[in-house]
Structure 1
Amino acid sequence: MRSSLFAGLVGVSAVGAVKPLVDVSYSKYQGVPLGNGITQWMGVRYAAPPVGDLRFAAPSDPVKNKTTIIADTSGNICLGTGSAPSNTSSEDCLFLNVFAPTNATSDNPLPVYFFIQGGGFNTNSNPNYNGSGLIEASNHNIVVVNFNYRVGPYGFLASNEIVTGGAPNNGLRDQIKALQWVQKNIKKFGGDPKHVTIGGASAGAASVTLLLTAHNGRNDNLFHASAAESQSFAAVRSINESQFMYDNLVIRTGCTSSNDTLACLRSLNSTYLQTKNINTPFPGAEGAPLYMYGPTLDGDVVTDLTMAAYRKGNFIKLPAIYGDDTNEGTVFVPVNTSSQGESNTFLKNQFPLLTLSQIKKINKLYPNNASNQFPNSGAWWRQASDQYGELRYNCPGINISDIYAATFNRKDIYNYHWDVVDPVAAAAGRGVTHTVEIAAIWGPNNTQGNAPASYSTTNANIVPVTQAYWTSFIRSYNPNTYRLKGSPIWEAWTQGQKQRLHFVTNATAMENVDAVQKERCAYLSSIALDIKQ
């Protein structure tokens, strides 16, 4: 066992171990061995800079560079919607990071965890997480990869002009390019290209579902299991339905009079373009959505609505984890939401195809609870948060798990309910918030300061339990194989038993989905295709 050898190998290269200097054919990267028996390679290019004529184009191979690059610094983060360029963000952002045990060997490669960050496809919101915590939790038995991909208009601008002169869904194409890089190169870092688990949070979890359904569910053997945390189901529009975003950007940037509007957009410097990179309302909505840009039906990478693809069976059927947090919506809905009208307007701004009768039914399913009020917040904040959270996050994960189990009789589908209460968030009324579980999965010291303080104090005990389940799944496609001693068996979700693991500090146990949530999710599932989820 690799773990039994590790004790004598900390800080020492084992015989046959991967060397810190790695040649990936187009360049050489000098990794940095750390004192914890882990080597990291930061800022590794996996595609050419998507600038100039490559703006709005599919990713290209990196240009060959004979210079050895000291891989001790993360690459730039991709430019996000509504933000100005900074000294850590740039349009030249297609970089990844690799973390591997120092004693990893290419002869006996280790399972790979490939993490896709979130950000609503409009920002890179989980950049450069430190993979050391996961590797240590696995007893130095996995390799971790994370990366940046294009977002906002750079990654998801769609129009007839883009189809003709560029490519839609470039953010997803970047993800596929990074997965192809893993297949080609990860063995040089000690990782096994035949044992790759993709994971992601929020839009990263949406990416998991989109990669599973990509190319009409074609399996290109780029990955072999998946774990989706707070899976997000936004509307997926056609090219024609997305044309307004392109047209509005052309107008805002002054490219209207150009004979070639796409060439004009490509000629703009990113600093100027960022001043015009804003969200505008969807047709049929009163106000701008939280996230305007996103994956588009292009007939290639995205061939169907995500929920439709699952229902038709047009997805790669692999071992999977889906799950969510108790209060998915509270971090999104304006805290001052103070009337049913404001609540309904917020929901309609995100999903403009909702009809009046559908909104009426949703209001009935989610009555306002006068006792569920918090200081400095509007009287309808939590009501709006509950409906938005379940519509976009909770219920799609439950419904997908049902599809796996009922239609395809899978025995390796696992669902969870994250219900670890942080005192600060609870007091503010946010509850157990969207994607907070990634602080436990990665370890609270490895998420760029985003972990609640309680994950290092009163909730510290949940961290090793969580990490053991996740690293077990990464290693064996089963969260139970290497689970922490004394923790419960994570039972699979089945057609007859809609059960999930209920994460609570010092009280984690299996639970059934309650009848009231089943009723709500059944209705939201019935309208999923109407609103283009």
Structure 2
Amino acid sequence: MVAGVFITIGLVLLSPLGTWGLSPQVTLTNGDHVGTVLSCGVSQWLGIRYAAPPLGELRFQPPVDPLPENGTQYAYEHGPICLPTGVLPSQQNKANYSEDCLFLDVYAPSRAHSESKLPVFVYIQGGGFNSNSHPRLNGTGLVKASEMGVVVVTFNYRVGPWGFLVDGDTLTPNNGLRDQRQALKWVKQNIAQFGGDPDHIVLGGASAGASSIAWHLTAYGGKDQGLFHAAVGESAAWGHVLTAKQARYQFNDLVVRVGCVRNSTQNTLNCLRKIPYEAIQMHGFGTPYPGQSLNPLFMWGPVIDYDMFSTPLIESFKQGKFIKVPVIWGDDTNGGSIFTSPFTSTVAHSNRWMRTQYPFLTIRKLNLLNMAWKNSPKEQKRCPDRDCWREQLSQVYGDMRYMCPSIYMSSAFPDHGSMDSWNYRWNVEDPDQISAGVGVPHVTEISALFGPDFVSEPYIRVPRTYREGEINENAVYVMQKYWISFIKTFNPNTERAEGTARWEKFDRKKLSRLRFDTGGKTEMEFVGTQLARRCALLFNKVYPRQAGGRMMIES
């Protein structure tokens, strides 16, 4: 095997390209690591520590730099996945998960070298801040699609109580987001060894990963610490946000369940840091927001800590307190379809479910929602048919959590003088998804971005028609070309696929965006009047020629 590796390297070094190939052994701030040279011309380094193990005294603490490893590390396998909320991994799956999980993977062209200065794409996976739901994304396909012109980095970060436990006093909040910043700092320090340019880093992510981008844009009042230089977010998720003190009930509930109630906060924390992880994992599930009776989909998450974050996202973007870099935001046509309750058969069911997710919603505000998202007269005739009310709830939730935030953020950039802002709608239909009643569901475009052969099931279910020879194979190619163009040049048009629409910048008057359609077709469209009014209602922002209301979500 060793001989085979060196033969491959030799072929790269003697290639007619005349470039020195990237050795699979790299010297990093935390020691020497050996990767794997793949036959396709891409090299990979898997399972590299970017922070010290968050164990013992470091449990529930901010991440710290990893110590140099003793000897050469063989980066051949992915690191463990961070523990999800309230799920104890089965014995069969236990090896894939661990509290010691702060690892990243790097994918780079094998012909690259330390002076290549290739654009870098750092991708934050989603999971509602309660799981790492897209682990082990393989960047090989994206590197190949870039014609060996980019470096891709993916990583794990702490979620659920492990990353977002806060007592409102002693514990440092938002450690999951601090993990992400630690990964970015590691990339900044080390990516040149893989052929990447530390001064050309594009931050990407989906769902909570895209929401994370929004938080990093607004961290410390929008102070630019040089960690990234452009950003692209798919279906950024805005949920209910508490202050650190308001979130103390989550801490209190957990310590009672695990039996760590003590006579002082410090003694309670000492207990939490000593008990087996299984105890916390078994009892770390979400609980209802105060005043509610049902658990929300995603309870653990970022809080306003008056350190990293002093205002909710909506206020930060409204006030212009964010880093001004080129951005792409967008969402899928039916972003709420996979989340809403299948038992929604009345408006009362719909209202109760919405208040479970957004407890600040009053009866008056719920009535405004129901009026703004009311079904057409034809559909109302068959209400309270279950599918009818579930469809309406899916639209409300999808717009409130995903679609309208992307439009709001896209408009905030030109509102504050940063004109390099683009928006999209992923409307690529897969027959199996359509027949399942989910339409074009949440973050389904991840399979297109990384390529259907480079995402790991069961973490991501690849639409059948995205594969080679199927109807949406071209949609994969088209998306990758736009994204790679943006990663390389901060503009999605520079290297877009031939015959595709020119992606116009977001027009805050017309609310312009690019629509991706079935088969790889693309076309510019304007956000419709009805959706614009709904978003105006949610965010108290009157878009030109649109009527706004007086309700906003907290986030």
Q: Is the 8 A contact 2:9 2:37 kept in 1?
A: no
Deviating more after overlay: 90-99 vs 424-433:
424-433
Q: After superposition, what is the alpha-carbon deviation per residue over 1:299-322, rounded to whole angstroms, capped at 9, x for unaligned?
A: 122221011001111100100000
Take 1:489 and 1:268, find their aligned partners in 2: how far apart are those partners? 57
Q: 1:183-222 alignment to 2 at 5 Å?
A: 183-222=188-227
Q: Does 1:351 align with 2:362?
A: no
Q: After superposition, what is the alpha-carbon deviation per residue over 1:175-220, rounded to whole angstroms, capped at 9, x for unaligned?
A: 0000000110000011000000000000000000000001110000
Give the % identical residues: 42
Q: Is the 8 A contact 1:409 1:494 kept in 2?
A: no
Take 1:227 and 1:250, find their aligned partners in 2: how far apart are those partners? 38
Q: After superposition, what is the alpha-carbon deviation per residue over 1:53-88, rounded to whole angstroms, capped at 9, x for unaligned?
A: 101100011122222111110000000102113210
Q: Does 1:523 align with 2:545?
A: no
User: How much does 1:525 deviate?
Assistant: 1.0
Give the 3-state SS of the residue equivalent to 1:223 in structure 2. Answer: coil
The unaligned stretches of length 5 or more in structure 1 are: 1-7
Which residue identity does 2:82 align to in structure 1? C
Match of 1:99 in 2: 107
Give the 3-state SS of the residue equivalent to 1:240 in structure 2. Answer: coil
Q: Is the 8 A contact 2:365 2:551 kept in 1?
A: no
Match of 2:23 in 1: 19
Pair 1:281–1:454, CA change in 2 (3 A): same
Take 1:377 and 1:190, find their aligned partners in 2: how far apart are those partners? 54
Give the 3-state SS of the residue equivalent to 1:297 in structure 2. Answer: coil
Q: Is the 8 A contact 1:232 1:392 kept in 2?
A: yes
Match of 2:71 in 1: 67
Q: After superposition, what is the alpha-carbon deviation per residue over 1:99-142, rounded to whole angstroms, capped at 9, x for unaligned?
A: 00001121121000000000000000011101011111111100
Deviating more after overlay: 450-459 vs 313-322:
450-459
Q: Is the 8 A contact 2:12 2:21 kept in 1?
A: no
Which residue identity does 1:504 align to in structure 2? D
Which residue identity does 2:97 align to in structure 1? S
User: How much does 1:277 deviate?
Assistant: 1.1
Match of 1:84 in 2: 88
Q: Does 1:462 align with 2:466?
A: no
User: How much does 1:529 deviate?
Assistant: 7.8
Match of 1:393 in 2: 402
What CA RMSD, in Å, does the superposition of the two structures yield over aligned residues? 1.9
Q: Which of these residues, 403, 407, 411, is aligned with residue 412 of structure 2?
A: 403
Q: Does 1:254 align with 2:254?
A: no
User: How much does 1:401 deviate?
Assistant: 1.2
Q: Is the 8 A contact 1:327 1:434 kept in 2?
A: yes
Q: After superposition, what is the alpha-carbon deviation per residue over 1:423-445, rounded to whole angstroms, capped at 9, x for unaligned?
A: 11111210100000111111111
Q: After superposition, what is the alpha-carbon deviation per residue over 1:355-387, rounded to whole angstroms, capped at 9, x for unaligned?
A: 11110000011124664999x964421111110
Which residue identity does 2:490 align to in structure 1? Y
Q: TM-score, normalised by structure 1?
A: 0.95
User: How much does 1:11 deviate?
Assistant: 5.5
Match of 1:46 in 2: 50
Q: Is the 8 A contact 2:50 2:66 kept in 1?
A: yes
Match of 1:384 in 2: 393
Match of 1:508 in 2: 522
Deviating more after overlay: 444-453 vs 186-195:
444-453
Match of 1:181 in 2: 186
Q: TM-score, normalised by structure 2?
A: 0.91
Match of 2:35 in 1: 31
Take 2:326 and 2:551, find their aligned partners in 1: how far apart are those partners? 25
Give the 3-state SS of the residue equivalent to 2:518 in structure 1. Answer: coil
Q: Is the 8 A contact 1:56 1:157 kept in 2?
A: yes
- The number of residue pairs the alignment matches comes to 521
Q: Which of these residues, 103, 112, 122, is aligned with residue 114 of structure 1?
A: 122
Q: After superposition, what is the alpha-carbon deviation per residue over 1:437-476, rounded to whole angstroms, capped at 9, x for unaligned?
A: 1111111111113211111112111010000000000000
Take 1:377 and 1:115, find their aligned partners in 2: how far apart are those partners? 38
Q: 1:233-252 alignment to 2 at 5 Å?
A: 233-252=238-257
User: How much does 1:235 deviate?
Assistant: 1.9
